C-alpha cells in the first residue's frame, strides 16, 4: 500500500496573487524553499505525489484556458527538472457556489485512492486553505496546513476551526519544516492474523518509549515479549486468543509470524535504518544476537536447554519463535547463548534480541539512504 501526498498548487507550490488567478508569467512566484525540499521528499521518501487544485471557472470567459496552460505547464516542467514528478493532476473547474462533488474539500476526483493500493492513513494533504484540511479528513488522511494567515476558503468548509484542528498534523509555512516532519513521522504499524487456531492483533511503534500491553495467555511468554518492548524501546501491544487447550505451539508460533510481519510492514522502505544490530550478559549467561533486516529470512540457533518447560512455555518453542519471526520479518538472525540457569539464558536472549532490534531499526533522519549496495532490501 502506497502513501500519497495530495498537494495543492496555488499558495502551496506557488504564491497566490491577490486576485487568486495565476494567468500570466508576471504573476508567477514559486513558494520559498519548495524546490529544495519537495525534491528531497520525492527522492528520499516513499510517497506518491499528486496535485489537486481548484481553478474557479477554468475554461470560461473569466479564466480562458490559453492563459492557464502555458503557466501551468511551465510550473510542471520546472518541478520535473528538480526531480519532482506529479503522478496525477486533478483540476476542478467549478465555482464554490456549484458545490460540486469534485471540488475540494469533496473527494469526487480522488475515488481511485479509496482502494487497497493506497495507504490513506499514512497519507497527507498539503495546502494553504482549510478546505485542504477538510479534504484530508474526508480522505481519512492528515493535513499539513501552510498557514500564511490568508483565511482563504473559510466559507467553503463544513466544520468549525476547532474541529478541523484535530486533522492538522503540522501547521507551518516552511517547506523545510514539512520535509523534516515527513522524515520523522512515527513509524507505526498494526496487524490482525486470524486462523482456526489463533486470533492475533498486534500494534507496533518503532519510535516508542518501551510501553507494552501483552496478553497471550502464557505468562512467561508475555514476560519475554515485554523484554522486546522495554529493552528495544518500542511500543508493543499484543493480544492473542489461542487454542491453549490443545497446547502452546500455535499461540507461540503464530504470534512470532505476525510480529515478524508487522516489523517488515512498519519498516517500510527501510531508508536511513542502521539495518544491523548485540551481545548481552545476564549473571551466569552471555547471549549474542545479531540481526539483519536485509529482506531474506535465515536463522542460526546455538542454544540448548535442559528443562522441558520454563513457566508454562516449552523450551522447544524458543527456536520456533525466532524461526517464525525471521520468516515474517524477512530478516537474518544469529543467536548464541552460554550459561547454566535456563531462565536467565532465554531472558538474556530476548533482551539481546530487543537491543539488536533497537540498534537495527534506528533511523538517521539526516542520512535517508538505503543501507545496501543492491539498491533494495
270 has a pLDDT exceeding 80: no
Confidence at residue 45, expressed as pLDDT on a 0 to 100 scale: 86
Higher model confidence: residue 201 or residue 271?
201
Q: What is the pLDDT of residues 203-250, one digit of tens each?
A: 999 988 899 999 999 999 999 999 999 999 999 999 999 999 999 999
Percentage with pLDDT > 90 across the chain: 75
CA of 117: how far to CAs of 1, 112, 114, in Å?
Answer: 5, 9, 8
Q: What is the pLDDT of residues 312-345, one digit of tens each?
A: 999 999 999 999 999 999 999 999 999 999 999 9
Higher model confidence: residue 184 or residue 352?
352
DSSP code string of 181-217: HHHT---EEEEEEE-SSEEEEEEEETTS-S-EEEE-S
Contact (CB, 8 A) for 333 and 289 = yes
Q: Name the 3-class secondary structure at 330.
A: coil
Banded model confidence at residue 258, pLDDT cuts 50, 70, 90: very high
Contact (CB, 8 A) for 349 and 313 = no
Confidence at residue 38, expressed as pLDDT on a 0 to 100 scale: 97
Banded model confidence at residue 98, pLDDT cuts 50, 70, 90: very high
Confidence at residue 49, expressed as pLDDT on a 0 to 100 scale: 98
DSSP code string of 75-116: HHHHHHHTT---SEEEEE---GGG--TTSTTS-GGGGGGSST
Domain boundaries, the chain: 4-183, 188-267, 280-355
CB count within 10 Å of CB 61 equals 6
Q: Does 10 carry a binding-site annotation?
A: yes
Confidence at residue 363, expressed as pLDDT on a 0 to 100 scale: 77
| Cell numbers found for residue 374 | 543492491
370 has a pLDDT exceeding 70: no
Banded model confidence at residue 367, pLDDT cuts 50, 70, 90: low
CA of 221: how far to CAs of 9, 83, 243, 258, 337, in Å?
Answer: 52, 49, 15, 15, 18
User: Does the domain made of 188-267 have the CATH classification 3.30.230.40?
Assistant: yes
Q: Does 254 carry a binding-site annotation?
A: no
Same CATH fold, 188-267 and 4-183? no
CATH superfamily, domain 4-183, is HAD superfamily/HAD-like (3.40.50.1000)
Q: Does 284 carry a binding-site annotation?
A: no
Confidence at residue 300, expressed as pLDDT on a 0 to 100 scale: 96
Q: What is the pLDDT of residues 153-192, one digit of tens each?
A: 788 888 888 899 999 999 999 999 999 899 876 688 899 9
Confidence at residue 152, expressed as pLDDT on a 0 to 100 scale: 77
Report d(CA 9, CA 233) in Å as an integer.
Answer: 40
Report d(CA 90, CA 59) in Å as an integer.
Answer: 15
Topology given in CATH for the domain delimited by 280-355: Ribosomal Protein S5; domain 2 (3.30.230)
Candidates 150, 123, 353, 348; CA nearest to 232 is 353
Confidence at residue 377, expressed as pLDDT on a 0 to 100 scale: 66
Contact (CB, 8 A) for 85 and 38 = no
Q: What is the pLDDT of residues 52-89, one digit of tens each?
A: 999 999 999 999 999 999 999 999 999 999 999 999 99
Query: What are the residues whose beta carbons fall under 8 Å from the beta carbon of 334, sequence distance 6 or more?
Result: 288, 289, 290, 291, 299, 300
Banded model confidence at residue 14, pLDDT cuts 50, 70, 90: very high
| DSSP H or E stretch at residue 299 | strand 298-302
Q: Is 10 a catalytic residue?
A: yes
Banded model confidence at residue 274, pLDDT cuts 50, 70, 90: confident
Q: Is 8 a catalytic residue?
A: yes
Banded model confidence at residue 9, pLDDT cuts 50, 70, 90: very high
CB count within 10 Å of CB 340 equals 10
Q: What is the mean pLDDT of residues 27-44?
A: 95
- Mean pLDDT (the chain) is 92
Amino acid at each position: 500500500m502506497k502513501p500519497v501526498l495530495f498537494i495543492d498548487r496555488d499558495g502551496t507550490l506557488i504564491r497566490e496573487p491577490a486576485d487568486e488567478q495565476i494567468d500570466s508569467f508576471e504573476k508567477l512566484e514559486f513558494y520559498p524553499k519548495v524546490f529544495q525540499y519537495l525534491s528531497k521528499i520525492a527522492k528520499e521518501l516513499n510517497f506518491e505525489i499528486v496535485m489537486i487544485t481548484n481553478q474557479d471557472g477554468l475554461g470560461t470567459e473569466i479564466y480562458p484556458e490559453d492563459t492557464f496552460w502555458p503557466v501551468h505547464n511551465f510550473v510542471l516542467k520546472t518541478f520535473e527538472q528538480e526531480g519532482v514528478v506529479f503522478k496525477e493532476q486533478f483540476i476542478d473547474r467549478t465555482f464554490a457556489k456549484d458545490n460540486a462533488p469534485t471540488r475540494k474539500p469533496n473527494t469526487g476526483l480522488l475515488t481511485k485512492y479509496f482502494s487497497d493500493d493506497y495507504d490513506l492513513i499514512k497519507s497527507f494533504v498539503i495546502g494553504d486553505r482549510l478546505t485542504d484540511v477538510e479534504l484530508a479528513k474526508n480522505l481519512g488522511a492528515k493535513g499539513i496546513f501552510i498557514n500564511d494567515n490568508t483565511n482563504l476558503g473559510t466559507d467553503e468548509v463544513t466544520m468549525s476551526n476547532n474541529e478541523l484542528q484535530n486533522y492538522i498534523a503540522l501547521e507551518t509555512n516552511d517547506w523545510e519544516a514539512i520535509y523534516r516532519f515527513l522524515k520523522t513521522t512515527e513509524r507505526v504499524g498494526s496487524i490482525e492474523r486470524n486462523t482456526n487456531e489463533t486470533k492475533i492483533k498486534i500494534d507496533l511503534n518503532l519510535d516508542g518509549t518501551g510501553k507494552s500491553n501483552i496478553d497471550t495467555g502464557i505468562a512467561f511468554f508475555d514476560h519475554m515479549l515485554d523484554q522486546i518492548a522495554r529493552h528495544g524501546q518500542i511500543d508493543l501491544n499484543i493480544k492473542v486468543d489461542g487454542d491453549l487447550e490443545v497446547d502452546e505451539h500455535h499461540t507461540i508460533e503464530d504470534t512470532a509470524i505476525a510480529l515478524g510481519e508487522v516489523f517488515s510492514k512498519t519498516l517500510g522502505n527501510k531508508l536511513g535504518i542502521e539495518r544491523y544490530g548485540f551481545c548481552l550478559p545476564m549473571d551466569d549467561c552471555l547471549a549474542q544476537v545479531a540481526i539483519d533486516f536485509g529482506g531474506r529470512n535465515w536463522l542460526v540457533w546455538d542454544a540448548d536447554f535442559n528443562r522441558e518447560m520454563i513457566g508454562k512455555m516449552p523450551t522447544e518453542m524458543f527456536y520456533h519463535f525466532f524461526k517464525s519471526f525471521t520468516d515474517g520479518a524477512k530478516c537474518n538472525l544469529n543467536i548464541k547463548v552460554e550459561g547454566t540457569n535456563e531462565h536467565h539464558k532465554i531472558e538474556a536472549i530476548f533482551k539481546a534480541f530487543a537491543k539488536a532490534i533497537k540498534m537495527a531499526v534506528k533511523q538517521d533522519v539526516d542520512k535517508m539512504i538505503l543501507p545496501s549496495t543492491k539498491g533494495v532490501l
